[in-house]
Structure 1
Amino acid sequence: MTFTATFLFHDSLNDFLRKFQKQQRLEYKFEGKPSVKDAIEAQGVPHPEIAQILVDGEPVSFQYLLKPNDFVEVFPATKNQIPEAKLLQPKLPETIRFVLDVHLGKLAKALRMLGFDTVYRNDLDDKTIAELAQNENRIVLTRDVNLLKMKAINWGYWLRSQFLEEQLAEVIQYFKLQNKFAPFTRCLECNGLIHEVRKEDVLGVLPPNTRKYFSEFYQCESCRKVYWKGSHYERMQQFIDNFQ
């Protein structure tokens, strides 16, 4: 037998719906006793972006079993007035760490530039990303909605924009990172930590003009890449200033 429940998605969760569905009460047909989480994700909305679910005005968990004629309201994590005790998502870790999908290499470098521990490789599959998120308490950033629906993922965000600066602004605002920057402490290439080193210790890898005109150097403890405050540093500093 087929039953019907009614769903209403609030605010930013409408980004996952088709144009004609946005801001509308949606009838959802189902059989048996699906969980409300499964019903929500079947309509396109991934669980990491959900803060609260109300059924007929009462808060429920993701495991709640849908009943005929239920009226389900779904609220996003950006809904600030929801008491923390009633939020469905676990509290974010004290130390913010990210893992990004294979399409977000530029964003990974930008986050590393700001000092955030950011795992990115262009060969990571969805299963590996989910495992890293679960095992290392990382936030998943992606342009793939289906990735965010994986059960192992607690925290995640689907990037609305395809443009780097807009993506970075989204992440900073969504996770409230404005006061958590630690610029130039991570390697842009491998995510390793960067430390100041003596010039004589890296002379062998410096271009001639760099060796001549610069005296302050930093090196990644993992991949050994060397950094100095050339014109590229000034451009990166200007980029960072746009988000502070």
Structure 2
Amino acid sequence: MDTGLVAKTESSPGQVVPLLEARSLGKTFGHVEALIGANFQVLPGEVVALIGDNGAGKSTLVKLLSGAIQPDRGSLLVDGVEVTFAEPADAQRQGIEVVYQDLALAPDLGPASNLFLGRELSRPGILGKLGFLDKRGMRDSAVRTLSDLGVDLRDVNAPVANLSGGQRQSVAICRAVMWARRVVFMDEPTAALGVVQTARVLDLIRKVRDSGVAVVLVSHNMPQVIEVADRIEVLRLGRRTARFSAAEVTVDDLVAAMTGALTQEEAER
């Protein structure tokens, strides 16, 4: 299956081309239609929140956009060019990473090792061919990434099992950012965190955006969504039913869009 860029699409002069876009995506599991012609856009330099009630299709959409599953119909576009993701590695090659709620960290390894987990660097020359890893190079790169994003850890080699929940979340985010060129998806990144740790993670999300990587924030916490997002897209019953500017929306607006109390025309602004 071809996983490269296959078809250029046209855009109007002066129109911002989305980094990542879903057009009329459909996905069915047995007799259940998880997505019914869903649309979604991620624009350069933004935090876009993806919200919806349980069963709205958020998780399915994220899996489609990150290559974990494939759509039954519809199109995916990267920088305005149609693509096909046969597996997550195809999305990763396009600079798209995901921070799942379970973080997928190796608890017995340190932050530096976790940042390169599955992508370890080999030593140059004959030592690399013999299987020796460039541990110093990986550590130095990890320290730079953590420092650039304002994550302060005493020891980048200490097991992540010894870190707080907020610190582990920060390590998972930094790992995604290290490899992402376009978009990072974050699934409920502040779930189960305290007030101070939540504030630090939200600040880290802003720093990721400011570094040039767009962020898709999947969350049920409406006040946090309004606080950190630039734009909000709402899914309901497998479709995008609303788009908002976070600066112009209230929690009541979001709840109304999620429950169907607002029409598409009333909600999109």
Same-fold status (TM-score > 0.5): no
Structure of larger gyration radius: 1
> Which of structures 1 and 2 has the larger relative contact order (alpha carbons within 8 angstroms, sep 6+)?
2
After TM superposition, the score normalised by the length of structure 2 is: 0.23
After TM superposition, the score normalised by the length of structure 1 is: 0.25
